[in-house]
Structure 1
Amino acid sequence: MRQKAVTLKDIAAAANVSRATAARALNSYGYVGDETAMRVLEAAEKLGYRTNRVAQALRSGQLPIVGFVPGDIQNPFFARIAHDVETELRRKHHNLLIASSEESVKQEKELLESLRALGIGGFIVAPASATDTRHIASLAREGAQFVLIDRAARAVRCDSVVVDNEGGAREAVSYLIANGHRRIGFLRDDSHIFTAQERLAGYQNALAAHGIAADDSLISVSRSAVEHAIEATIRLFSRRERPSALFTVDSLMTQGALLGLRTMGLSIPHDVSLIGFDDFNLATFTDPQITVVAQPTAEIGPLAASMLLERLAGATMPPRKVRFPTRLVIRGSVSHP
């Protein structure tokens, strides 16, 4: 009968330490006290643990791999970023390992610790939270290199590449107001991620700038998925005084809104005007085509990859904060109410 392989979890339990500590001691990265390190090594020897050859190759630079942890790889925005990052890394003889956090801080933390335990030293991350980023800061202090994309994190000193979410949302809502709309619905996700907060602020700031009182009943909240956005749209437009226009927080929400409005027999833009944040392929295949706030998606991935490779090569300049402007792409989904 084949003997079960000894795992990192077994070593950690035998040495009475966390898996992260055991990984640091076995793979020689970060800080581990001498006594603790010795306890881990003795437990590994006693249990017959064999060092991971992939981790050895990573540490020696023979197998250069970068980790990418997006919020949701099914989101077209992150799928495009992953493609562009992988293309740029391949040009520089690096490989990409992708693991989605599914917008869970707990899952993000576990993924980063597991990837770091393999010896991976560089990460491109879209943080699941703007504030709960202690795990990222801790790994950065231990020597891991990070570039944050799409979302900023206040407590982490590292490079970041984001867009002007607040400005883009403000411009979109202001365009709806300029076309005569006063009851403007907002379809947003239920998370606390950086982009959602900034886009909500842009919506609110545009209303305030034009003297329109905010109305929470015009904001519909759901998970960022097409099927949930359909339900949220139907709830919003089933009200007696429904909105004359709708602004959606991302492309998945926009697609859900389109299907929800069609289910209700509402026509765009005759019954409802629509603007979505994020351009997407179907936006130009609908009739009418959808007005969107476009991000420079094609520039984000290559820049993030390039910045990370510079850090892995030893660059020591202060953290770089890149914020791209957005662009309102006017098509045919907005008319006067």
Structure 2
Amino acid sequence: MSQKKPVTVRDIADAAKVSRATAARALNGYGYVGDDTAVRVQEAAARLGYRGNRVAQALRQGQMPIVGFVPGDIQNPFFARIAHDLDGALRPTRHSLMIASSEESIEQEREVVDSLRSLNVRGLIVAPASADDTGHLVALVNEGVPLVIIDRMARDVPCSSVTVDNEGGAREAISYFVSNGHRRIALIHDDSRIVTARERLGGYVDALTGHGLAVEERLIAVSQSTVESTIEAAIRLFSQPEPPTALLTVDSLMTTGALLALRSMGLSVPHDVSLIGFDDFDLATFTDPQITVVSQPVARIGAQAVKLLQDRITGTGEPEATRFPTRLIIRGSVGKPGGQPRR
């Protein structure tokens, strides 16, 4: 079967008995068109099922109705949820979302930011792969490109941002372990050039020293933010002669990897090991026991990022920094050392 030919501006002009130029002005909202003529053109377009080419319109106007999003890793459930929320928040503004992951590579981040910039997008929302290597982001702001940074701060970039209290969340998790009698508390975190990793490590160290506990390097493992890499890191931690009794992981992929590693070693949660993960995620409530987590207000992050970006696009207000608190959600994965019941 042959496909139906798309309705063109010429078809609308013929149906409304106006010139093609007049039909184009009425459909695209530029130039002068009399009220009666504009109504006649719009009615003809609706009757024929005309759909305008937004890309062509945007090219004529000099900007694409697109907002670029550069997450660290779109496979991370945290960033996947952020992308979902950004898309939903942008729809009422008639903008589409284009996603290009940096995969936590600063070189790839520069490339995708440059590619999105070449499309003349309306603005960018970026989770920086580095807190310090930010020259390309500074250049964006200097060029007048609306930019909002989420999840991680970036040094010397004068733009709006949406972050959470990572240090406070880690401190609360470690303090909860300590209140349940744990003294050998391990941490698995990712690359320290990512500011969230630095902040969560800082909260871990601060909480231990605040409770009079030593910070032992053997209890801190660095891993890529993947399930496979975390499995290896967790096995190393718990194969030591005097293994940890508690573990904090800094994102949901790492929490999944830690659970798989502990299971492969025959260790149960919380009888043998107590576990807290940073970020809530579906698996956390499907396991037995359910996993205690440091929850970020993910549902608020995307909406706030779009609001701040719209402010920059319309030129209203000054760059604004939003910092949300975290919340410790207590479930069943923390007990006392030796499998005693949780307090």
TM beyond 0.5: yes
**Whole-Å Cα distance in 2 between the matches of residues 140 and 193 of structure 1?**
21
Alpha-carbon offset, residue 94 of structure 1: 0.8
CA contact (8 A) 1:222 1:232 kept: yes
CA contact (8 A) 1:188 1:222 kept: yes
Which residue of structure 2 lines up, in the alignment, with residue 174 of structure 1? 175
Deviations 1:34-78 (A, max 9, x none): xxxxxxxxxxxxxxxxxxx95982571674110000000000000
One-letter amino acid matched to 2:78: F
Which residue of structure 2 lines up, in the alignment, with residue 80 of structure 1? 81
CA contact (8 A) 2:161 2:321 kept: yes
Structure 1 residues 249, 58: closer, same or farther in 2, change over 3 A?
farther
Which residue of structure 2 lines up, in the alignment, with residue 122 of structure 1? 123
Which residue of structure 1 lines up, in the alignment, with residue 335 of structure 2? 335
**Whole-Å Cα distance in 2 between the matches of residues 78 and 212 of structure 1?**
34
Which residue of structure 1 lines up, in the alignment, with residue 272 of structure 2? 271
Which residue of structure 1 lines up, in the alignment, with residue 137 of structure 2? 136
Structure 1 position 164 matched with structure 2 position 182: no
Alpha-carbon offset, residue 318 of structure 1: 2.4
CA contact (8 A) 1:152 1:194 kept: yes
**Whole-Å Cα distance in 1 between the matches of residues 75 and 166 of structure 2?**
21
Alpha-carbon offset, residue 221 of structure 1: 1.3
One-letter amino acid matched to 1:209: G
Structure 1 residues 196, 55: closer, same or farther in 2, change over 3 A?
farther
CA contact (8 A) 1:191 1:223 kept: no
Which residue of structure 2 lines up, in the alignment, with residue 252 of structure 1? 253
Percent identity of paired positions between Structure 1 and Structure 2 = 66
Aligned length: 284
**Whole-Å Cα distance in 2 between the matches of residues 199 and 66 of structure 1?**
30
Which residue of structure 2 lines up, in the alignment, with residue 152 of structure 1? 153
**Whole-Å Cα distance in 2 between the matches of residues 245 and 140 of structure 1?**
43
Alpha-carbon offset, residue 176 of structure 1: 0.2
Which residue of structure 1 lines up, in the alignment, with residue 284 of structure 2? 283
CA contact (8 A) 1:121 1:143 kept: no
**Whole-Å Cα distance in 2 between the matches of residues 55 and 133 of structure 1?**
33
One-letter amino acid matched to 1:108: E
Structure 1 residues 119, 279: closer, same or farther in 2, change over 3 A?
same
Quote the RMSD (CA, aligned, Å). Answer: 1.5
| TM-score, normalisation: structure 2 | 0.81
Alpha-carbon offset, residue 120 of structure 1: 1.2
Equivalences for 1:274-313 in 2 at 5 Å?
Answer: 274-313=275-314
Equivalences for 1:98-117 in 2 at 5 Å?
Answer: 98-117=99-118
Alpha-carbon offset, residue 121 of structure 1: 3.3
Alpha-carbon offset, residue 314 of structure 1: 1.9
Equivalences for 1:164-243 in 2 at 5 Å?
Answer: 164-243=165-244
Which residue of structure 1 lines up, in the alignment, with residue 325 of structure 2? 325
One-letter amino acid matched to 1:172: A
Moved over 4 A (4+): 53-56
Deviations 1:118-148 (A, max 9, x none): 1113000000001110100011101111010
| TM-score, normalisation: structure 1 | 0.82
CA contact (8 A) 1:185 1:243 kept: yes
CA contact (8 A) 1:185 1:245 kept: yes
One-letter amino acid matched to 2:189: R
**Whole-Å Cα distance in 1 between the matches of residues 210 and 310 of structure 2?**
42
**Which SS does the other structure have where 2:293 is aligned?**
strand
**Which SS does the other structure have where 2:163 is aligned?**
strand
Alpha-carbon offset, residue 92 of structure 1: 1.4
CA contact (8 A) 1:58 1:119 kept: no
**Whole-Å Cα distance in 2 between the matches of residues 70 and 260 of structure 1?**
27
One-letter amino acid matched to 2:232: E
CA contact (8 A) 2:65 2:122 kept: no
**Whole-Å Cα distance in 2 between the matches of residues 175 and 245 of structure 1?**
11
One-letter amino acid matched to 2:312: R
